[in-house]
Structure 1
C-alpha cells in the first residue's frame, strides 16, 4: 500500500477506535461512480496459479499438500477527501460450500465440517483471519484512508489464499505411524468482494464480485513406502476465478461471526460405531450445539 503523507496525523486515538463500524447496522449497496467519491480502479486481476498441487510425504505421521494459490490484486486511485471521513478498501471472502473427506479404507473417514453450512442455517460463512472483521486480512489485503487528504492517492491491495493441510497417515483417533489413509477429497467454493467501506457513515459499497473454487483429490496406496504412496488424481490445472458481470450484495451471515477458522470441526466417522469429535470448533452457537447433538450423541470407547 502506498504511503500517503497527507493522511498521517498525530491523534492518540487509532482509526479503528474512532470509527468502529456496526456490522449489524451497516448499509450495503453497489458502488455508483456518479453518486459516490470517484474511486478509479486502475488495475484489477485475479487468477489461480497454473500448477499442480504439491504433495509432501516426508513426515512419518502426516501427509501434507499445498494447493496452487488464489490471488487477487487491485490498484486504485482514491480521490481527495476534505472532511475527516474514514474509508477502508479491501477484500471480503466467504465460503458457501466445503466437502473435505479423508478416507481410511473400509474403516471410515474423517471430515472437516462447518455445521452452519451443512444444516443450511446460513448460506455462507466469512473466511477471514477473524481479527479484522469482515476483511480477509489486515495488512496488504485492506487499505485504510483517513481524511482529510488533499490530493488523489494511489493504493495497491492484494490477497492470497491456498490449502496446506496436514492429514494423518493413520486414523485421527490414533497416534501411529502406520498408514491406513487411502483417499483424500476436498472441494471448496468461495465468493470474494472488492469493497469500499465508509466507516464514518457505516456504509459498504460493492465494487467487484468474483467466485472461485478448487478440487483436490489424492489417491493413497498405504502399503507402499513413503515418497511413492500418494498420487494427485484431480486436474493439475485448476479452474480460473470468474469475475461476475453483475455484482452481488454480501449476505449478512458473511459479515458476521463465526469465521471459517473458528467454526470448523474435525469428526472421525467410523464405519462401525459412533462419530468422534477430534477437533472441536472454537466458536459455539445454537447451530453448532444442535449439530453436535444430532451427529455425535454418544461417544464410543476407544480400544
Structure 2
C-alpha cells in the first residue's frame, strides 16, 4: 500500500513533502529512519520499504528533497549559489532539514535515543530491529548524502541555533551513507577516467538525458577483480577496474518499472539543476 504524501511548512515559506509508514503498533522504542533520495529519482523509489518497517521496529520517512515532487523548488538565486558552490546554499539546506526533523519529532512524539552506543542499521544489530533503541537515523542514497555531510557540520552552521542543535542531539543516533557519490566528499574524478558519465555526454539531448541517466545508474556493472568469497575488492583495485564504459548493462532496475512508476519516480528538471554544478 502506497502511503499518502504529507507536506510540512517550514520558516521562509519552504515546504517539504514526504511519506511516512507511521509508528509500529504498540511500540514506544522504535527507531525512525529518514531517507534522502539522490538525483533524478525522487523518494517514490523507496515506497516499498514502508511495508517492511514495522516488522523491524522501524518507522520510515521518505523525504522529497528540495526541488523534487511536492517540495519547494530552488529559487533562481539558490540555483546561482549552487552553480557557484557557495557554502550558504548547503548551510541553508542543512538548516531546513534540521527544522523539518524538529517539527516532525515534536508533532509525532518520536521517542528519544535511548543509548548512544554505535550500531549498524541492520535487523541483526542489537538495537534496530529488536527494539530498545529509539531516536532517528538519517540515510542518504547517492546524491542524497550531500545534505547529510552539510548537516553533520551543524556546529559550524550559523543557520542552526544552539537550541536546535541541542534538541536534535537527543534524537539523532546514526547517519548512513548508501552508495555516496564521489563529489559528496569533495573528490574529483581521476583525469584519466574511462567510465561513462551521462551528464558529460554531449550526445544526450534534454529529452534523452532522463532515460540515459536512469538506465546508467540502475545498471549492473562488474568489478573483474571482485572476490565473491571475501565479498570485497583488493586494496589495489581502482576505478579503472570497473566495467563501466558501457552506457548501460543488459539488465537494468528501471526496465522492470512501469511507465506510471517511471513518471512518478523520476524528475529531469531538478536533476538538471543539481548536475549543472
TM-score, normalisation: structure 1: 0.22
Bigger Rg, structure 1 or 2: 1
In terms of fraction of residues, the more helix-rich structure is 2
TM-score, normalisation: structure 2: 0.23
